Amino acid sequence: RKAAQDISFVRHVFPVEMGALSMDRAKMDHYHYRTIAEALQNCLPGDTIELGDGHYWVNESELSINFPLRIIGDEKDPSHVVIELSGTVAWNGDKGFVEGVTFRRPRMNLDEKKANELIRIGVGGRVEFAKCAVEGTREKVATASLSEFKECGFLVKGKLILNDSAISNVQGNGVECMNNSSVSLLGSRIVGNSGLAVQAEGNVSLFRDDDEKIAIMNMME
């Protein structure tokens, strides 16, 4: 418990509203960072990244998290803390926890067809999202382009827990579950997407609020 309260275990990232991108890294306080990617480079397993109110741009095509990590925003209103994702958050680590954060796909040039999953839970990855929101590209995509423009909220190969969270505005499926993955939906909403709420390939375990386990196979059939 003492270690968990040590300030060295908490990494603070400044939002763009505070001029984070123009800050001089050499003049910043210890354990404070300009970007989430920069904070991740200095994190150790079990650390916490703390995000204040504002926007955080993630321009990397893939932001990988390969160890236990907590990301904490505003547990009362996730719309106050917004991560603008150009690419994908690839979560491969165990014991992940995210609270009070909105993950949003910014306005895109649909002709480039660069859309993909916003968040991918890799094999062996286990993450709980509590009081979070995942919002896809808001532009409507022509039906003829859907086969080329592929987007989903979560691509799950490991274990995902959605607790009091929401997935919306995705130009595709809310959650895509791969073989042998597990998804728990606890008081969460998957609405306003152009595809299915949940699509499964192979054997998938889905847990509802009542903890009843449901075996799903090829929901598209």
The per-residue pLDDT for range 14-34, each reduced to its tens digit, is: 998 876 565 656 656 778 898
Residue 46: which of 14, 12, 10 has the closest Cα? 10
Pairing between strand 81-85 and 54-58? Answer: parallel
The per-residue pLDDT for range 64-93, each reduced to its tens digit, is: 999 999 999 999 999 999 999 989 999 999
DSSP string, the chain: -TGGG-GGGEEEE--GGGTGGGS-GGGSPTTEESSHHHHHHH--TT-EEEE-SEEEEE-SSEEEE-S--EEE--TT-GGGEEEEESSEEEE--SSEEEES-EEEPPP--GGG----EEEEE-TT-EEEEES-EEE---S---GGGTTTS-EEEEEESSEEEEES-EEES-SEEEEEE-TT-EEEEES-EE-S-SS-SEEE-SEEEEE-TT--EEEEE-TT-
| Sheet-wide strand order for 189-190 | 54-58, 81-85, 102-104, 133-135, 166-168, 189-190
| Res 151: pLDDT | 86
The per-residue pLDDT for range 194-215, each reduced to its tens digit, is: 899 999 998 999 887 755 454 4
pTM summary value: 0.85
